[in-house]
């Protein structure tokens, strides 16, 4: 496995691979890899001939006062994990390599980014779509793999690829959870043991609402209210949003109908966690 840090070298490595007629799979990450990431890599490994993983904590997608500085970083640990997952190249550029002095170009998906995390974190998705466009141009993958945990991100990136006629496919891989249900996230490392227990409120509220729906409840106001009540019982939890929206348009709906996304963002102490469930129509 090679670790590459310059755009030029990355482009030339992938050109060589493509010249051999191999397909390229790509897993963009911010590093501090967990089993969710490793599942993406296995998926890439099974569907393409050559797998590139990027590790880049993208300053553009963090807001003022967010955890850009504190975001966990451990390239040597990540390299071992990626290597054992059969990854061929890790692309780990510096911030200056990605955003040289005078950088000025941005990609933005409108509408879809005005709700959920886009509303709570203004500018976040502009940072995501910009860096992902750059990474797609650098790696030129046939398929890029993203996790369903970032549900809105998946929908926004699929829309971007479609709108801009990019030459690749996006595959979304299901959420990977800890045994007790907590969705895997690099940010889980922020939690102390008390918070780790409290964090179960997210996945458990989704389980609870799944049963409510199974028992016939279809009114989204009622469902959202039940989730809010459930999470509010946990003293360490502070809700950012609980929403039920149509998929893929992310519009408010009164009743469950068609495909729906139930999405939550909840602060546990100072750590903001997200989780979601998609109900196929």
Catalytic residues: 37
Q: List the one residue from 1, 3, 7, 143 that touches a copy of itself (CB under 8 A).
A: 7
What minimum distance in Å lies between the beta carbon of 42 and a copy of itself? 28
Three-state SS at 227: helix
Q: Which residue has the tokens 């502070």?
A: 238
Do 162 and 53 meet the contact criterion of CB atoms below 8 Å apart? no
- For 162, the 3-state DSSP assignment is helix
Residue 241: CB atoms within 10 Å: 16
Nearer to a copy of itself, 33 or 112 (CB): 112
Stretch that binds a copy of itself, among 96-104, 179-187, 192-200, 214-222 (CB under 8 A): 96-104
Selected binder of a copy of itself within 167, 189, 257, 270 (CB under 8 A): 167
Pick the stretch among 147-155, 162-170, 190-198, 219-227 that binds a copy of itself (CB under 8 A). Answer: 162-170
| Binder of a copy of itself out of 20, 76, 165, 215 (CB under 8 A) | 165
Q: Is 137 in the site for a copy of itself (CB under 8 A)?
A: yes
The nearest distance, CB 247 to a copy of itself, in angstroms, is: 14
Instruction: Assign 3-class secondary structure to 163-183.
Output: HCCCCCEEEEECCCECCCCCE
Q: Which H or E element spans position 261?
A: strand 260-268
Q: Please name every residue paired with 27 in a beta bridge, in sequence order, or none if there are none.
A: 53
Helix runs in 51-93, H state only:
75-84
Binding residue for a copy of itself (CB under 8 A) from 110, 225, 251, 254? 110
The least CB distance from residue 100 to a copy of itself, in Å, is 8
Question: Should residue 105 be labelled a site residue for a copy of itself when binding is judged by CB under 8 A?
Answer: yes
Q: Is there a contact between 33 and 82 (Cβ–Cβ < 8 Å)?
A: yes
24 CB-side CA count, 13 A: 27
Q: Which of 125, 190 has the CB closer to a copy of itself?
A: 125
Positions touching a copy of itself (CB under 8 A) are 7, 11, 102-112, 129, 133-134, 137-138, 140, 159-160, 163-167, 249
């Amino acid at each position: 496995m090679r670790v590459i840090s310059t755009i030029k070298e990355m482009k030339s490595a992938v050109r060589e691979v493509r010249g051999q007629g191999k397909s390229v799979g790509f897993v963009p990450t911010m590093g501090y890899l967990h089993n969710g990431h490793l599942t993406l890599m296995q998926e890439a490994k099974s569907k393409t001939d050559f797998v590139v993983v990027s590790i880049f904590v993208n300053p553009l997608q963090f807001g003022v006062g967010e955890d850009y500085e504190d975001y966990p970083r451990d390239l040597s640990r990540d390299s071992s994990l990626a290597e054992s997952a059969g990854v061929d190249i890790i692309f780990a550029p510096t911030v200056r390599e990605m955003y040289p002095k005078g950088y000025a170009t941005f990609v933005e998906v409108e509408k879809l980014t005005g709700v959920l995390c886009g509303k709570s974190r203004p500018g976040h998705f502009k940072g995501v779509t910009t860096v992902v466009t750059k990474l797609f141009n650098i790696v030129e993958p046939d398929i890029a793999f993203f996790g369903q945990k970032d549900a809105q991100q998946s929908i926004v990136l699929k829309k971007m690829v479609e709108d801009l006629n990019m030459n690749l496919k996006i595959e979304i891989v299901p959420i990977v959870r800890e045994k007790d249900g907590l969705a895997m996230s690099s940010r889980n490392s922020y939690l102390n043991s008390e918070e780790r227990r409290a964090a179960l409120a997210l996945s458990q509220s989704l389980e609870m609402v799944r049963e409510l729906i199974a028992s016939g409840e279809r009114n989204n106001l009622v469902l959202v209210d039940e989730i809010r009540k459930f999470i509010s019982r946990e003293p360490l939890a502070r809700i950012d949003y609980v929403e039920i929206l149509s998929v893929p348009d992310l519009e408010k709906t009164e009743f469950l109908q068609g495909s729906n996304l139930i999405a939550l963002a909840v602060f546990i102490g100072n750590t903001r966690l997200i989780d979601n469930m998609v109900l196929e129509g």
